[in-house]
Amino acid sequence: MDKYVLGMDVGGTHTRLGLVALDCSLTDFEIVKTEELQKSEDTVGSFIRVIREYLQRHAAGKEISAVSAGFPSTLDRDRRTVLSTPNIRGFNNIAIVDRLEEEFGIPAFIETDVDMLLLYDMFEHQIPAEGITCGFYFGTGLGNAVVIDGRLLIGKTGAAAELGHIPVRGLHGACGCGNTSCIEMIASGYHLKDLCVEKFPGVEIGEVFAKCRDQEEIHGFIDDLALAAATEINILDPDHIVIGGGLVYMEGFPRHELEEDIYKYARKPYPARELQYIYSRQGQENGVIGAGILAYKRLEELRKEGR
């Protein structure tokens, strides 16, 4: 019987599911609207129903070894509880791993969605586990993940690598996290959308780099993205730098300008002299495969522990 893990990438708009084999190949990939999880007051119950129905369609004749899901959330350090999910109602302070394991009788694992993306990119680009790898994902928000010697940087409370919430003097207004002055307020798709409305009326956000890349406001926006990335680069001096996210995939995104601006803010001579970039491949399935990669790592750890 073929063995798989169920990988999931839970997003604010869409939830992606697929069966991931040990060689990281993907089968039975599906995308469902996340609103399917919110059709009742019991969001977690709806989440479990979506999983059960998916397995009924695709798991016959297969051994499912684990369930693994990436969430756009703050998680506890033990990676068993979803603490806060601003964009999905009902996923706050939920011991989701316990619920999944009770329901399906197999191990369950969770991580942040951006951590799953970096695990996928390290696999896709054959980035070695040794050393430090930083992932910067410029999308609706400012996503960040760090792997050090093969282990995700989690932190004391589970909230490490929140690069978007580095405070910047002089910024005003409240961030979605509740603080003020977070760099994500100016270095994110949220801000770019506001910039389009205010400075480039009539230009769709998906066309703003292609049509307005020479405008001062766009140069300033790219500079702010670089400022965020260079902050972490100067602290960690990473061996590998991965750049991805929806903004980077947009037509006309000025990659060379971003790299020049990162160099401008990077400490000289090092790490500035050694900066090299790997760009993530755009794909709906990336986070699902990343979830599978995490599951196989965790299953191997459990096996070595004799559990």
Q: Kindly report which listed range (145-154, 175-184, 214-223) carries the lowest average pLDDT score.
A: 175-184
Beta strands in the chain (DSSP E): 2-10, 14-20, 26-33, 62-71, 74-75, 82-84, 108-112, 132-138, 142-148, 151-152, 240-244, 277-279
Confidence of residue 40 (pLDDT cuts 50, 70, 90): confident
pLDDT value for 168: 93
Distance separating alpha carbons of residues 306 and 166, to the nearest angstrom: 41
Whether the per-residue pLDDT at 27 is higher than 90: the answer is yes
CATH 3.30.420.40 segments of the chain = 2-115+284-304, 128-279
Mean pLDDT of 244-252: 96
Ranges of H-type helices in 80-139: 96-104, 113-124
Q: Which fold has domain 2-115+284-304?
A: Nucleotidyltransferase; domain 5 (3.30.420)
Pairing between strand 14-20 and 2-10? antiparallel
pLDDT value for 32: 94
Tokens of 18: 């697929």
Whether the per-residue pLDDT at 306 is higher than 80: the answer is no
Whether the per-residue pLDDT at 119 is higher than 90: the answer is yes
Whether pTM > 0.85 for this model: the answer is yes
Distance separating alpha carbons of residues 231 and 225, to the nearest angstrom: 10
3-state secondary structure of 194: helix
pLDDT value for 134: 98
pLDDT value for 90: 83
Confidence of residue 82 (pLDDT cuts 50, 70, 90): very high
Tokens of 27: 């089968």
Whether the per-residue pLDDT at 291 is higher than 90: the answer is yes
Distance separating alpha carbons of residues 154 and 151, to the nearest angstrom: 9
Please give the residue that has the higher pLDDT: either 41 or 129.
129
pLDDT value for 268: 97
The CATH superfamily label for domain 128-279 reads ATPase, nucleotide binding domain (3.30.420.40)
Mean pLDDT of 209-215: 96
Whether the per-residue pLDDT at 133 is higher than 90: the answer is yes
- Calculate the alpha carbon distances from 200 to 60, 91, 140, 144, 191 in Å: 52, 36, 19, 28, 13
pLDDT value for 24: 96
Average pLDDT, whole number, for the chain? 94
pLDDT value for 34: 87
CA-atom Rg of the chain in angstroms: 20
- DSSP bridge partners of 304: none
Distance separating alpha carbons of residues 287 and 307, to the nearest angstrom: 27
Distance separating alpha carbons of residues 139 and 193, to the nearest angstrom: 11
pLDDT value for 54: 97
Whether the per-residue pLDDT at 113 is higher than 80: the answer is yes
Provide, for the chain, the percentages of residues in helix, strand and coil under a 3-state DSSP scheme, each rounded to the nearest 5: 40, 25, 35
Distance separating alpha carbons of residues 228 and 265, to the nearest angstrom: 9
pLDDT digits (tens, 9 = 90+) for 176-210: 888 889 999 999 999 999 999 999 999 999 999 99
Whether the per-residue pLDDT at 25 is higher than 90: the answer is yes
Whether the per-residue pLDDT at 1 is higher than 90: the answer is no
CA angle 77, 80, 83 (to 5 degrees): 70
Q: Is 265 exposed, middle or buried (0-12, 13-18, 19+ CB in 10 A)?
A: middle
- Pick from 163, 120, 127: nearest CA to 148: 127
Q: In this structure, what are the phi and psi dihedrals at residue 8, rounded to the nearest 5 degrees? A: -135, 145
